[in-house]
Amino acid sequence: MKIASAASTDPNPHRAATKAHGMLVEKLGGPPQLMLVHSSCAYDNEALVGQLRTLAPGVPLQGGTSCLGVITESGFQSRDGLGVGILGVLDPEGGYGVGIAESEDDPQSAARSALDQALAEADRPGELPGVVVTTSYPGHEEFTIGAIEDYLGANVPIIGGTSADNDMSGQWQQFGNDSVRRQAISVATLFPSGEIGYSFHSGYEPTRHRGRATRAEGRILYEIDGRPAARVYNEWTEGLIAELLPEGGNLVPTTAFTPLGNPVGQVGDIPYFRLSYPVEVLAGEALLLYTDVRKGCDLVLMTGTHDSLATRAGRVAAAAVDAAPFRVDEIRGALVLFCAGCMLAIRDRMEEVVKNLRPALGHAPFLTAFTLGEQGCFIGGENRHGNLMIAVLVFGPLRVE
Amino acid sequence: MDTSEELREALLNLEDARKREAHQRRMAEALLAGLRVLVLTEDVGELFGKLFDVMREPLEFEAAFVLTANGEGTLRPVASSVPLFADTVWRPRAMLERVIGGQPVAVFDTQLVEEWSSQPPPVRQAVRSALHFSIHTAERKALFVCTHSHRAHFSRDHVLLARRFSMLATQALQKLESEAKLADLQERLDTEAKLATLNRKLVESEKKLARARKMEAVGLLAGGVAHDLNNILSGIVSYPELLLMEEDLPPAYREAIETIRESGLRAAAVVEDLLTVARGAASSREILNLNRIVRQSLISPEYQSLMLSYPTATVRCDLDSDLLNIRASEVHVGKALINLVANAAEAVCDRTEGAIVISTENRYVDRPLRGYDEVRVGEFAVLRVSDNGRGISDQDLERIFEPFYARKAMGRSGTGLGLTVVWNTMQDHDGYVDVTTDDHGTTFALYFPVTREAAADGSVKIPLEDYRGAGQTVLVVDDLEDQRKLASVMLRRLGYTPDAVASGEEAVEYVSKRPVDLVLLDMIMDPGINGRQTYERMIEIRPGQKAVIASGFSQTDDVKAAQKMGAGRYLKKPYTLEKLGQAVREELAK
């Protein structure tokens, strides 16, 4: 198994695709068996993906849009909001396939359809993949995860991200082989010949502010402890969003350092949280989150810092390696899904993020996409969708310990 | 980084590590249990049954079975935890090919997989998910299949455990096979080594046998010739003695007759050497000192003649003054020494300063010396003859003691029996020969067992009166007329009353009619019965019949058998008047 990354910030989608693909093939020494592609929505991605498919016909292609650009081991690949990155996997002994399906009103059926396509392309129908990589669009990630688990079983690791645009205007796109969609679920089923490791961390810590969702529906949190959610949140954050009350407005990236946490598990005595990013104040002082929120669930105000966001990616990557059955110097490559909100909050410190990721990943090739939600597998084995998270998937050799 | 956040992450990671460690330990325990079964269970049927038991919990299967190739491109169960799968046939497609190739495969929906969807309805209904992995060795390929009635039952953890078990089990079985193969190989190597040793010994034995046969052939030839020669020589040795007894014999004749007698005795000694080569039999032995033999040999006519032939060779002696005695035949050992010196002289003949060293020493061998011959433990008087010649090649060294080999291979002069005489002499003396050789020369070492007995100071002439007879009757039994005549003349001269017959049968008839005081019995007579048979029949008629055995051959089993029956001394032909007189007198005195 050999993995390489390549990127381009050429404004022309054809040239960007051609440059990135050329670089990738050169690094790999041959055409890959899988391409994970993330590009900014400022590109004409149909042209970009089309060019890649022309250059690499038949090679499974999966991915979506990434906020402003991508990161590779070479650095932050973004220029004027443009940047495309490819993580190529050369693994003739493995099996790889991609599927994509419009979600419409039935995300579960879409997920199953996408999985069937992917398994068929991998020539492994009915077989449990080593990992499923997903790209979805904001709004139905939990359904997607549930659908995948229903289909494959609860213990298949799912690593993915919610496709993002550059300005939260809804320009996100999902890629699946020849298709570029706006409301689709794209999945890649991976049967690597080697081993994998993964990690999914928030990196935020809980504060003393806690409450319960007393009224919620989908991603709208109306009330906390019987009071308007935005008002309670504003109190917990000591007036962070006071200017937007009561009319409402966009909270990105204002709330990036103070998300809401929902305890989803406990390791020993230590709870771990799925984060919910408050992205908008709605009428009636409700909060729009980028995750579903259920009535009755516990909520905790989480807090993070610029420094913690800048160093967190490296620590999550290190945790993924710790969990993997191979050493850091054996890593072949990695996929990192990094919260776009966090990226925007520490945009000027992206090189610091790269600097932390490189040694944590053994200086192996990697691709980081900036997403509006992250899907990953927690320590306890639970697949979850969260905000302001970092999901890391590392590839390594087969080993018997 | 925020300190509390770092601490929190560290705690989470620690807990995670603890959790993973516990998981790994469970996996390791499961693997160990499985491996233990694999390694310790010899019976295949029992093995898989035990494997099902130990792997059921960690792999969380409801049922399991094991497939092996049946040689027709299909797989069939060889073991199953439930009867459901017993008669199934599996045609490997992509999924099973991967499993055969070593990849564990979890199937979350058997209905989507060709191998499963082609199974009979009861199987399809009972199994919704499955886990497959292989246990491979170089010689055996087995597929382990775990099944469950729930769809998507098997997870990545099961796959990981299966992969590890597959790899470890394969390694363990391959190691066992390798060890078994290694053991087989070692056994084969050992067997081959033993065979090689046996073959080598066989070759050596065959060589020895060939040498023995060659010697035997030479012996038969030499023995026959020697027997005849001895009979001829008897006249040359004995008649001069009779003539020399005439008191009025002219001095000029006396000297000539004595010369004839001495020549006859030397000729008899040569024939005796030939017999030694031929029969490997010991000649008469006496207590001797090798130093004396060396000194005697160095003044012998043979040595003088030899040195004249090799004027560039010099001989130096280095004799151990405290050398222990040996029990030996002086003639034979002297002959062996002369032969070795002749051998050495020829080896140095092309050297401007050919040096030959004759040395003696006492040697106690406390552990066997593995040289040319294996010298066993004991006390030895060692006689060495060394030269600074060109050495002997390995090929020649192997055969130099064979009759006539040395002369052909090495261009030696002489009879071709020189080294054979050396070898046989040492055999007769229960001694050993060692040869060391290289480009700078050769050393022959003769190991003689020592004796603590004192050596005789030399022969003492016994007066005729001491062994003269008193008219007793002696029957001479010999198939050769001249032998009968010679013996009769000598016996008459000694004061006995001889009569003679030409065969054993005649002798038996003779004694059956009239008694005789002593029978002088030849051992080998042709045709008719031999000396032993003759004596055997005689004592049936005349129990206690006194007899002296005379023979041209060395003391044989027949001689010993006759002596055991009561016959007296063995008298080796040619015998002197003195020896005949002593033997007859001694026997009659019993």
Predicted pLDDT of residue B331 = 80
Give me the total of CB pairs closer than 8 Å, taking one residue from chain A and one from chain B: 105
Res. B224 pLDDT band, cuts 50 70 90: low
**Position B278 pLDDT exceeds 70:** no
Q: Which amino acid is at A272?
A: Y
Structure-token match 């040569």, residue found: B270
Has residue B37 got a pLDDT over 80? no
Sign of the CA dihedral with B555 first, then B556, B560, and B563 last: negative
User: In angstroms, what separates the C-alpha of B128 from chain A's closest C-alpha?
Assistant: 10
| Tokens linked to A393 | 């998937």
pTM above 0.80, yes or no: no
What CA–CA distance (Å, rounded) separates A95 from A89? 10
Q: Does domain B3-181 have CATH number 3.40.228.10?
A: no
CA distance B9 to B3: 10
Which residues in chain A have their CB less than 8 angstroms from residue B23's CB? Answer: none
Give CA–CA dist B89/A347, Å, rounded: 61
The lowest-confidence range among A26-35, B11-20, B372-381 is: B11-20
Average pLDDT in chain A: 92
- Single out the residue in A303, A330, A348 at which a domain terminates: A303
Residue B3: predicted pLDDT: 53
Burial (0-12, 13-18, 19+ Cβ within 10 Å), B316: exposed
Q: CA of A198 to nearest chain B CA: how many angstroms apart?
A: 12
What pLDDT is recorded for position B341?
92
Tell me the C-alpha to C-alpha distance, in Å, between residue A82 and each of A85, A166, A357, B147.
Answer: 10, 9, 22, 50
User: Can you read off the two tokens belonging to residue A91?
Assistant: 């693994």
> Residue A46 falls within a domain, yes or no?
yes
Give residue A105's pLDDT band: very low, low, confident or very high (50, 70, 90).
confident
* B336-356 residue pLDDT tens: 899 899 889 988 888 888 899
- Chain B closest-CA separation from residue A268 CA (Å): 7
* pLDDT of B96 higher than 70: yes
Strand partners, B164: none
- The tokens describing B231, both together, are 């009979």
Q: What is the dihedral of CA B97, B101, B105, B111, to 10 degrees?
A: 0
Give the C-alpha separation, B168 to A324, whole Å.
19
Per-residue pLDDT, B346: 87
Q: How many Å apart are CA B268 and CA B579, to the nearest integer?
A: 15
In terms of domains, do A14 and A149 share one? yes
Name the closest residue on chain B to residue A305, using Cα atoms: B2
- Judging contacts by C-beta atoms under 8 Å, the chain A residues touching residue B103 are 193
For residues A335 and A160, give the distance between their C-alpha atoms in angstroms, rounded to a whole number. Answer: 9
- Residue A401 and residue B107: Cβ atoms within 8 Å? no
Confidence of residue A75 (pLDDT cuts 50, 70, 90): very high
Sign for the pseudo-dihedral over CA of B482, B483, B488, B489 = positive
- Looking at the complex, does the CB of residue B26 fall below 8 Å from at least one CB of chain A? no
pLDDT at B179 over 70: no
Structural domain ending residue among the three candidates A303, A327, A349: A303
Residue B372, min C-alpha distance to chain A (Å): 59
A251 CB-side CA count, 13 A: 30
Beta strands of A340-373 (E only): which ranges? 366-371
B170 to chain A, closest Cα gap in Å:
12
Nearest to A311 among B1, B129, B153 (CB): B1
Residues A172 and A209 in one domain: no
My answer on whether A13 and A53 are in the same domain is yes
Q: Which pLDDT value is given to residue A7?
A: 97
Residue B459: band (very low, low, confident or very high) from pLDDT cuts 50, 70, 90: very low
Fold of B464-588: Rossmann fold (3.40.50)
Please tell me whether residues A227 and A110 are part of one structural domain: no
Measured in degrees and rounded to the nearest 5, phi and psi for residue B135 equal -125, 105
Identity of the highest mean pLDDT range in A37-51, A384-398, B290-304, B478-492: A37-51
Domain ranges of chain B: 3-181, 288-451, 464-588
Residue A323: its chain B contacts at CB < 8 A? 16, 20
Q: With an 8 Å Cβ cutoff, are A153 and B2 in contact? A: no
Taking a contact as any Cβ pair under 8 Å apart, which residues of chain B between 103 and 122 contact chain A? 103, 105-113, 116
What letter represents residue B101's amino acid?
G
Q: Are residues A176 and A62 in the same domain?
A: yes
> Using CA atoms, how far apart are residues B115 and B527, in angstroms rounded to an integer?
96
Residues B263-283, mean pLDDT to the nearest whole number: 64
Confidence of residue B409 (pLDDT cuts 50, 70, 90): very low
| Same domain (yes/no): A77, A9 | yes
User: CB of B24 within 8 Å of any CB in chain A?
Assistant: yes
A317 and A242 belong to one structural domain: no
Q: Which residues of A touch B24 (CB under 8 A)?
A: 401
Q: Identify the residue among A155, A270, A398 best suited for mutation to test binding to B, counting B beta carbons within 10 A and taking the highest.
A: A155
What gap in Å lies between CA B495 and CA B491, rounded to an integer? 6
Q: Do the Cβ atoms of A288 and A219 come closer than 8 Å?
A: yes
pLDDT for residue B309 is more than 70: yes
> Are residues A37 and A165 located together in one domain of the fold?
yes
* pLDDT-derived band at B46, boundaries 50, 70, 90: confident
Query: Residue A271: is the preceding peptide bond cis (ω within 30°)?
Result: no
Q: Is residue A20 part of a domain?
A: yes
* Chain B stretch 63-102, residues whose beta carbon is closer than 8 A to a beta carbon of chain A: 94-95
Per mean pLDDT, which range of A83-92, A112-121, A277-286 is the poorest?
A277-286
Out of A44-58, A329-343, B7-21, B480-494, pick the least confident: B7-21
Same domain, A27 and A159: yes
Inside any domain, residue A401: no
Residue B50's φ and ψ, nearest 5 degrees, are: -70, -35
Residue A268 sits in which domain range?
A: 205-303
What's residue B255's pLDDT? Answer: 80
Which one of B5, B9, B94 has the shortest CB-CB distance to A123?
B94
In angstroms, the CA B469 to CA B487 distance is: 14
- Sorted by sequence, the CB contacts under 8 Å of residue A348 that are 6+ apart come out as none
- Note whether residue A252 is domain-resident: yes
Task: Classify residue B284 by burial, with Cβ atoms within 10 Å: 0-12, 13-18, 19+.
Answer: middle
Q: Is B265 on the interface with A (CB under 8 A)?
A: no
Claim to verify: residue A111 and residue A241 sit in the same structural domain: no
Q: List the single range of A150-164, B177-191, B550-564 with lowest mean pLDDT.
A: B177-191
- Nearest Cα of chain B lies from the Cα of A285 at a distance, in angstroms, of 31
For an interface test with A, the pick among B4, B7, B11, B13 (most A C-beta atoms closer than 10 Å) comes out as: B13
C-beta of residue B52 within 8 angstroms of C-beta of residue B63: no
Q: What is the pLDDT of residues B357-392, one digit of tens each?
A: 999 988 877 666 666 666 777 788 999 999 999 888
Residue with tokens 């944590």: A360
Average pLDDT over residues B40-58: 78
CATH code for residues B288-451 = 3.30.565.10
Question: Residue B368: its pLDDT value, please?
Answer: 66
Q: Judge if A249 and A278 occupy the same domain.
A: yes
Contact (Cβ atoms closer than 8 angstroms) between residue B287 and residue B238: no
How close B184 gets to chain A, by Cα (Å)? 29
Please tell me the predicted confidence (pLDDT) of residue B120: 93
Q: Assess whether pLDDT exceeds 90 at residue B216.
A: no
ipTM: 0.86
Question: What is the C-alpha end-to-end distance of chain B, expressed in Å?
Answer: 127
Q: Which of A268, A303, A338 is the last residue of a domain?
A: A303
The total of other beta-carbon atoms located within 10 Å of residue A27's CB is 16
Structure confidence at residue B553 (pLDDT): 63
Residue B505: which residues within 8 A CB-CB, separation 6 or more?
B528, B529, B534
| pLDDT attached to residue B411 | 45
What are the structure tokens assigned to B188, written together?
């084969």
Q: Are residues A64 and A196 in the same domain?
A: yes
Q: What is the pLDDT of residue B286?
A: 83
Is residue A60, in this structure, part of any structural domain at all? yes
